[in-house]
Amino acid sequence: MVTPVRVVIALCLVAPFVAMLWVSSYAKADPAFIGIPFFYWYQMLWVLISTVLTMIAYQLWQRDQRARKAVRNSQDLSEGASR
């Protein structure tokens, strides 16, 4: 089932791949940061960004699973009461 939360999770997980596979956007030396060419520090920055995005995706997934479980439990309780 596609929900807005799952779309956000997918975007969080796909963004680093798109950023790294679009090489022409960062295949240059300038601007340098403390003597490190852009090509290198951009990739290292994406390591940190990817970590944060993965943590966000995980937290959203856990919240979504808890909500689905709560809905499922309430449905089971209502079905049991109607029997």
pLDDT tens sequence for the chain (83 residues): 888 999 999 999 999 999 999 988 888 888 988 999 999 999 999 999 999 999 999 999 999 999 888 888 877 767 666 65
Single pTM value for the model: 0.79
- From residue 69, alpha-carbon distances to 2, 9, 73 in Å are 16, 18, 6
Domain that holds residue 62: 8-26+37-68
Could you give the number of structural domains in the chain?
A: 1
1, part of any domain: no
**pLDDT at position 83, please?**
57
Inside any domain, residue 58? yes
Q: 28 — phi, psi (to 5°)?
A: -155, 165
